[in-house]
Structure 1
């Protein structure tokens, strides 16, 4: 009885083994047959890609495309390689030919249009890229196309179109509210220059709703607005809020304030400026402070404050302002020599002191709300650093 059970078990095991072997042979033959139908150049191209040899891969795929031009995937891979090599015209030609095919599925057509938009964008044909991206709005690639469109429109400074795209689908882009705040601030500043106060008020309120009324950018725009309308009480109220919430931003405030006032009115701001530098000696505006003291204050007072700043937070910008005062105060016989030293230090400040983008590391002489290199907003702190290492700068 036991022998019969073992016999049946062996028969069943052998049957399952035979079925598995047959299935494996069928699968192996199917794979071998499918591989034999692929052009050898196609497999060679894939091998080159896997080993990072992009130029050889492109040549192999070109040969494969000549022998077997049908597969959409092969054409897309070939065009992408050409685009990566900077051969935009050839990539565009392939993608346009693919887009003209009537047998493409909706998914394939969407992918072709997306690749064509990238071709135009990287080649610098921004109007064509914009048209291609707009074709994808409302489709499965809406968020990606919307973000690319917003990026293009920002380079063109078309803030209204950017806002229209953001407001239509704010969830499609990360940090959409922060971007809306900056765009409304840009439009408000443009309206200030035109003295269009109704438009200023509209965009300033919208910026406050998007980013909060206590953001440094919205406060600065409000301050510029009050300055332009000669609302002295309003100006001081805004500056006091910045002093309380964003003391580092006072460097940007001081320059705007002094530039907007005639020199005859500087004595009215001197007590406020002195208070700022007493409380926050790290403010990156010592040169402007010296301007005010020499114009309507006391060189001795400025000298005392700068000596304290050199002790508390020494840097090259403070030293530059300090030496400027020393030149002013030393006897005539020493003035030429001290001025030579000061000129040397000032030259280093002019060459090396830069605002620094915290996102990409770009360095610029001017403060930017939008980084010229990476396009991010609000990544420049309002304080310069001295960059001795080699870096990109504007």
Structure 2
């Protein structure tokens, strides 16, 4: 049977026509998909710029559905969920990203970092710690270490905080020696409360060496030495404080007066306090001087002397308390009013967040900042 080439000649045009139609259909479908995805994406971006987060989320969800393989849309959607406080949805988005096998390593690191932030914002500190630890050796390593440091400080895990601070200090983030000294002081407090005074003393001495310009190690050391019945050592610690960190003396002025009384060194302590006051007037130093002055009249004159340096309602109230003002009942009424008015002025205020407290904090309970409380009372700021 002979092969008829007519069919071949007829087949070429037909095949060409079918191929052309198929390509046109594919191009048309591709154009439709390409139009839909960017349209949804830019719609979401527009909502986001206009602070319409609900509509932005809906638009990004639509864009993700049209193009589920686009990682950038997933990142945008996850970040939006986190900003809105929908942490469970943010975690699901980022965990879905982590489960994909086609992610590049930089994208995987970025997804791991985003997941760690989700856990951190949600307050799931244990899961955040695990996620952040996995970022060692990635471009997000430094950010992860700073976040870990915050976690360990909040949970008072001073051993791990010390480890992370040492790593940060060896990188380009500057010195963390002062913060590490605070950690040693915190550990010393825990050891002292447990009865391990030898460890507490060792920690405080190490803290003083680590941050020689910091006031806290010497103040805490003097307190512990005083409690252990070693007034001479405590006095030496406070005299060293006056020498290397005089700005911290107002916090220890009352302690210095107490140590001087118990060790019979009132006159020496009084001279040091007067010299300190001459350089930096402070109501706390005045109170310590008044406590050490033998002559009650000379002691009270220090309140008037302080008023010559500063306008102080506290000092005025202290002076009036010892002055006979005629009617005793009226005097008591005036004094009670002054005492009530001066209470807020004797607080300390965090320079970072404004949190006020009747006691001085080295670590602000409001914003978690270190050394953010001035050593002077609100009235003196």
TM-score over 0.5 for the pair: yes
Partner of 1:177: 177
Instruction: Provide Cα deviations, 1:3-32, integer angstroms capped at 9, x if missing partner.
Output: xxxxxxxxxxxxxxxxxxxxxxxxxxxxx9
- The 8 Å contact of residues 80 and 91 in structure 1, kept in 2 or not, is answered as yes
1:243-258 alignment to 2 at 5 Å?
A: 243-257=242-256
Q: Which residue of 2 aligns with 1:206?
A: 206
Do the aligned partners of residues 97 and 33 (structure 1) sit closer, same or farther apart at CA in structure 2, a change above 3 Å counting?
A: closer
Deviations 1:167-192 (A, max 9, x none): 34533444322211211122123223
Instruction: Trace 1:1-394 onto structure 2 (pairs within 5 A).
Output: 36=35, 38-172=37-171, 173-212=173-212, 214-257=213-256, 265=261, 268=264, 270-272=266-268, 274-279=270-275, 280=277, 282-285=281-284, 288-289=287-288, 292=291, 297-326=294-323, 330=324, 334-386=327-379
Q: Is the 8 A contact 2:362 2:371 kept in 1?
A: yes
Aligned length: 347
* Structure 1 alignment gaps of length 5 or more: 1-31, 389-394
Q: Look up the SS of the partner of 1:386 in the other structure.
A: helix
Whether contact under 8 Å (2:349, 2:355) holds in the other structure is yes
| Higher radius of gyration, 1 or 2 | 2
Quick one: structure 1 residues 191 and 259, their matched pair in 2 at CA, closer, same or farther if it must change by over 3 Å?
A: farther
- Structure 2: which 5+ runs fail to align? 1-30
Query: Higher mean Cα deviation, 273-282 or 96-105?
Result: 273-282
How far apart in 2 are the matches of 1:354 and 1:308? 22
TM-score by length of 2: 0.81
Report deviation, 1:119: 1.0
Compute the RMSD of aligned alpha carbons.
2.9
Shift of 1:359: 3.2
Residue 285 of structure 1: SS of its match in structure 2?
helix
Secondary structure of 2:264's counterpart equals helix
